[in-house]
A = this chain, B = another copy of it.
Amino acid sequence: KRVRFVPYMCDRTKNTNIRLSLPAVCVVWEIAMIILFGVFIRYNWESDAHWAESKHNLSDIENDFYYRYPSFQDVHVMIFVGFGFLMTFLKRYSFGGVGFNFLIAAFGIQWALLMQGWFGSLDYSDGKIKVGVENFINADFCVAGCLIAYGALLGKVSPVQLLVLTLFGVTLYAVEEHIIIKIIHARDAGGSMVIHTFGGYYGLAISWMLYRPNLDQSSRLQGSKYHSDVFAMIGTLFLWMFWPSFNSAIAGHGDGQHRAFINTYLSLAATVLTTFALSSLFQKHGKLDMVHIQNSTLAGGVAVGTAAEFMLTPYGSLIVGFCCGVLSTLGYVFITPFLEKHMKIQDTCGIHNLHAMPGFLGGVVGAITAAAASDTVYSHEGLVNTFDFKDEFKDMVPTVQGGHQAGALCVALIFGIGGGILVGAVLRLPIWGDPADDNCFDDEAYWEVPDDEENIIPNIQYNNHMQNKDVETIKPHRRKRCSRCF
């Protein structure tokens, strides 16, 4: 610890000045987006003005916009307010939490429209990607994977690193999604595998590559404070409330969306109860821990993702939620400290407990539920609809589908861990402007932070009976934060 007071020991090679790199990356990439959109992206059938002629007998209110857009908006709120505010819980990193989330999500959705378009929506007749409301939901989903990864790295990386993480993350996601959904023909309505398992392990692998042995130098900033915890609850609640929309947003129209909403709703409700139970049980005086309430209450939504549109049954959903609340809270109590101490994985938000583990569990639940599906439970047509046993997969049977689901889970894991290690290696280059160990979790590195004492100090000066030295005594942490060495 004494080391901190010896200036020449400080890691002077770290420079958080991103005045050139951040603007350069943002502007160059946005110009690239404009060019690529110009070459590739066009309105689809339902959003093009030609629809007035080409819709034929359809009425205007049969446009899919009306049956996807409310779900889209709920998902959109989860991405920007949900994830954003969930990450405001740190006492001096709320700007970075909500602000960088905003930046990388806004960039990621553009790149996702292209990447997912090339794989999924390319019209081979004219080589254009035709986009409509469903593409935008998928873009939000794609970027969710990267935001999950950000959760592990919160406070320890620069915005330029985050943009790089997002560029590669979206690319990996689009490939992985294509393999899982199109090639393996797995079903994953809520993305337990595609989004959460991938995103979770992607972030953890990067965090492992960027391990900081001396991170305790900024330990004074690693906690929350009273109001930052309340801000984080905004994120938690919007994620919790809209998760049924997330899991049902791209499920099949009709009973599929309806059922996905019900399963998710029930799983989440059960998770809340077991999270509160476990949180209280593992504290000395039975006091609740805000970290658990903010995060583990959401694990039920993750774990029910793959099976959301299946006939999981209402009580099946409750059981999944029950187990997830227990598992996720135990994760915060035991696994996160273990990962940090023995595996060199520093996981700021505990995404291992909220996304990686529940996502994996969700994949397993999905595989089992799919393998157990039957004509009796689904009806014949219901089975075909739900599992899309059509065209080249018209001879598929549920048990084989279960195997495919399990295979898909492995693909998600491999892409997450493998991709994370590769991208982590790139992010270790000393050119990205990441903060020094004692500068982590501090908005001062990348933001103009208002001085909260301003409204006291001038008045003290009016009162005019305090000496300069005393004024400094009152706000010593400001000097601390402004200089990085002593």
Contacts and interface: CB of A to CB of B under 8 A. Distances in A.
A102 interface: yes
A53 B23 contact: no
A38 to B, nearest CB: 4
A61 B258 CA distance: 11
A296 B289 CA distance: 33
B269 A455 contact: no
B221 A80 contact: no
Contact of A52 (B37, B66, B272, B382): B382
B318 A34 contact: yes
B258 A19 contact: no
A133 B136 CA distance: 25
Contacts of A31: 322
A401 interface: no
A61 B50 contact: no
Nearest to A382: B49
Interface in A206-252: 220-221, 223-227, 229-231, 233-234, 237-238, 240-242, 245, 252
A217 to B, nearest CB: 12
Contact of A458 (B62, B92, B220, B255): B220
Given A266-B110, A381-B53, A84 B450 contact: no
Nearest to A242: B73
A314 B379 contact: no
Interface stretch (A278-286, A350-358, A363-371, A404-412): A278-286
B273 A106 contact: yes
Contacts of A184: none
B49 A259 contact: yes
B26 A315 contact: no
A26 B47 CA distance: 45
Contacts of A60: 252-254
Contacts of A286: 17-20, 22, 446
A10 interface: no
A253 B66 CA distance: 9
Contacts of A92: 226, 455
A77 B255 contact: no
Contacts of A269: 106-107, 109-110
B99 A50 contact: no
A73 B76 contact: no
Interface string A442-454: 0000111111101
Nearest to A463: B476
Given A286-B19, A315-B41, A454-B225, A460 B476 contact: yes
Nearest to A94: B230
A255 B61 CA distance: 10
Given A102-B293, A226-B450, A277-B26, A285 B455 contact: no
A383 interface: yes
Contacts of A47: 255, 258-259, 262
A265 interface: yes
Interface string A381-403: 11111100000000000000000
Given A17-B285, A49-B377, A80-B241, A27 B103 contact: no
> Which 8 A-B residue pairings sit nearest by Cβ, starting from the closest?
A19-B286, A49-B382, A60-B254, A106-B272, A26-B277, A51-B255, A60-B253, A47-B258
30 contacts: A18-B286, A19-B286, A22-B276, A26-B274, A30-B270, A42-B313, A43-B313, A47-B262, A49-B377, A49-B385, A52-B381, A52-B384, A61-B66, A61-B253, A63-B255, A65-B258, A81-B234, A81-B237, A81-B238, A92-B455, A95-B288, A103-B273, A109-B265, A136-B262, A220-B459, A234-B234, A290-B447, A459-B476, A462-B480, A465-B473
Given A77-B241, A288-B446, 13 more contacts: A19-B283, A30-B273, A30-B277, A34-B315, A48-B255, A49-B259, A49-B311, A53-B379, A54-B379, A94-B230, A95-B288, A133-B261, A288-B448
